[in-house]
Structure formats: structure tokens, C-alpha cells
Amino acid sequence: MPDTIQIDDDVLSRNLSGPIDKVDPSEAALFENNVHHEVFRRLRREDPVHYLPDSPFGPYWSITRFKDIVTVDSNHKVFSSQPSIVIGDPSDDFQPPMFIAMDQPKHDVQRRAAQPAVAPTQLSDLEALIRQRVCNILDSLPVGEEFNWVDKVSIELTTQMLATLFDFPFEDRHKLPFWSDVATTSDAVGVAGVDMEWRMKHLTECLEYFSRLWVERAGQPQKFDFISLLAHNDETKHMIDDPMELLGNLMLLIVGGNDTTRNSISGGVYFLNKNPEEYAKLKADPSLIPNMVSEVIRYQTPLAHMRRIALEDFEIGGKTIRKGDKVVMWYCSGNRDEEVIEDPDAFRIDRERARHHVSFGFGIHRCMGNRVAEMQLRILWEEIMNRFDRVEVTGEPTRVSSNFVTGYTDLPVRLHAKT
């Protein structure tokens, strides 16, 4: 299966062999064609803390090494998450507040209000339900026929999980991935040709739908879904009176639980097919699944970056970041850093210390749903191994054009039954 490179040669050669001070790793075409790793390898080697004075997203710093990412990510006093955590600012200036893009102390109270929905204790209660749903999805798949794994498995499973976390009406659940796609389809992350009015119209629908749920939940005893938790918490119950803040947090929780795990589900299938010896290891020893899950999350890095704004001058990697500068931490690069991860471009399901990756971020904004993500992936692979001899990838995937969400829209597969 040769990788089909459709990328404009200019974009790649400019970034790989042009002058280092002009390198711009934020071009969405690099990600869509899965060649961004080559650009980041160059940056880590030649200019790991890299300043680009001019780009479609304005001037920005790139942080590309694992250790520097940990330094920036855990220093929330110097590196602010406000007003946004993606590289660009949308052309329509529509940036509703959400706790991932807030600093202390407001971030802390809102995150703490939502967190019980994804706490380990709550998840152990949900495990049997998730397993049942995984089994239902896998049992409904055609064996021996080609189909799109992204639609039938990755999206369906994460949608059902998200519906559970919101206690969202199950029959309307397909609205959730739609709203998630609407939220991430923005010119702020390099997606070309977005109709920002169309985007706003659907985000407003999302807000209206959830406002109704909120009012309903507020009038009932508290449960452990996101809406009920926020509606009953003293610190967040007034969010309903601030529609932009409610919408912002909804976008955060929907995207956070959707676009990320979805792409690790697809990525795992693809990586095992690209590395048949790893698939053989998995078959020989399914107890490797939890470790493999961490390796898939590292190797996929579903969110390629997070951005910060420096609140004061800061020295890092021999450079001085100035107060007010935009700083982009490239998680996709930290996860391939040769200095920290041995043979980082290899996908190895039995890798030692596989949890030592940067995909969930570090510091106070570290991914809140990391355990839900790992649990979903673990259960899915346990049940795949119970049912199928092989999930065969039958063609190259189609990838998302974005410098933020690293993922797939299409992954053709064929299932082989166990003999």
C-alpha cells in the first residue's frame, strides 16, 4: 500500500529544504497528506524552538521537543490559555469562552464541576454498558465486504459514548458528531473555504437543544452526566444565563469526547495493518491491549497542537519568547522526539513506558477524559480480538485537512471472521 502523496510539491520542499526561518509547520496540507512528521523532524534537529514572524495565523513560536512542551504546558502562570487554544483566531471573531481556554481561577471551578462525569469511579459503573454497545456495533458489521471503518465503528462508538456522558436522547445522538464537526470546521485551524455563517447557524441550534436539556436537568435530582453536574453545581449553575459560555463549554466537551477517540480508533486499525508483525504480537498476546492503547494514542496524536499566549518574557531552548507572543506546542512533534522516545517513528505495541506520551497534554489543562478514551479503546480491541481474525485495511485512508484535529474521514476495511 504505497502512500499517495497529492501534496503540492512546493509546500513540502519549501518546508523541508527551504530556509529554516521560513518553515511553517501549520499548513493544513502537510497534515492532510501525513507528511508533517518530516517537517517537525527538521525543526527538532535544526530549530526546536522556532519563531515564524509571518504566517496566515500571524507570528507564532513552535515548541517541538517533548521536554520543552512539558515546560510550557505545566507553566500556566506564564503561558495563558485565553482566549483560545488553537493556532488561529476565527475570521468572525466568534470565540465563546470554555474552560480549556480559561486561566485560573475560573478554569478550576468549571473543570471541577464537569469532571465527576469522567472520574474513574463513574467509569467503572459505565464499563458494562460500553462493552454491550461495543458488542452491538461489532456484531452489526458485514464480514467479508468492504466498508468505511470511520463511519460504522469509530464515529458510531464515540457518538454513543458521548450520548451516555451527556445522557443525551439516544435517538438524536447523531447530532453530536455533526456539531463536533461544525465546531472544528473553522478557518482558525486552517480549514479552507468554511462558511462561517453556516457554522454559526448550527452552533446556535446546538445551544438551543442543550439549553432545553439543561432546564430539564436542573429541575430533576442531580445525576452524573455533564449537563446535570453543571446545572446543579453552585459555581456553574448560572451558566445557562450566559449562553456564549454554555455554548463554549458544550463545544469543548463534545469535541473533546468525539474527534479525539474517534481518530485513535481508526488509527489503531491502520497502524496494525501497516505493521503486520505488531498485529501478530497482539494476536499472540491480547494482554498487550492496554499498552497498545497508549501506543496508539501516542502514534496518532489526535490533537496536533495547543496554543498559549506568553504573559511575560520567558527563556526556553536558548530563545527568548516575549510577553504577548503566541506559542504553539506541537504535541505531534513531542510524541516523535528522538531524545525522549526510543525509535519514535516505530509503532510498537509492547513499547516500555508507553504512557509517557504528550497526547493528553500536561499541567492543569491535561485531558480530563483520558481514562474514558483509554477504556473505550481497550474494550473495543478486546471485543475485536474476540470476534475477528483480522480487520484488513483495503486502501489508503482519507485524512482530515486541519493542523489541529489529526484524523480520518475514510478508512476502507474488510473483516475476516475467526476460523
Partner 1 sequence: MPTITYIDHDGGERQIEAKNGETVMETAIKNSVPGIDADCGGACACATCHVYVDEAFMEKVGQPEEMEQSMLDFAENVQSNSRLSCQITVSDELDGLKVTTPESQH
Q: Which residues bind partner 1 (CB under 8 A)?
A: 70-71, 73-74, 76, 104, 108, 111-112, 115, 119-121, 355-357, 360, 362-364, 366, 368, 370-371
Query: Which C-beta is closer to partner 1: that of 73 or that of 181?
Result: 73
| CB contact at 8 A, 314 and 321 | yes
DSSP string, 406-419: --EEE-EEEEEE--
Smallest gap from residue 357 Cβ to partner 1 (A): 8
Q: Can you tell me which residue has the cell 462525569?
A: 117
| CB contact at 8 A, 334 and 77 | no
Nearest in space to 291 (alpha carbons), one of 357, 344, 345: 357
Smallest gap from residue 372 Cβ to partner 1 (A): 11
Query: Which C-beta is closer to partner 1: that of 42 or that of 348?
Result: 348
The two beta strands, 314-316 and 319-321, are antiparallel
Query: Which C-beta is closer to partner 1: that of 290 or that of 412?
Result: 290
| CB contact at 8 A, 283 and 31 | no
Query: Which C-beta is closer to partner 1: that of 245 or that of 374?
Result: 374
Total residues found in the chain within this entry: 419
Nearest in space to 180 (alpha carbons), one of 97, 86, 252, 242: 252
Smallest gap from residue 362 Cβ to partner 1 (A): 4
Query: Which C-beta is closer to partner 1: that of 77 or that of 416?
Result: 77
Smallest gap from residue 212 Cβ to partner 1 (A): 30
**What CA–CA distance (Å, rounded) separates 164 from 298?**
26
Q: What is the largest CA-CA distance in the chain?
A: 63
| CB contact at 8 A, 338 and 279 | no
Whole-angstrom distance between the N-terminal and C-terminal Cα of the chain? Answer: 26
Smallest gap from residue 112 Cβ to partner 1 (A): 7
Smallest gap from residue 257 Cβ to partner 1 (A): 16
Smallest gap from residue 144 Cβ to partner 1 (A): 40
Query: Which C-beta is closer to partner 1: that of 61 or that of 362?
Result: 362
Query: Which C-beta is closer to partner 1: that of 42 or that of 107?
Result: 107
| CB contact at 8 A, 335 and 298 | yes
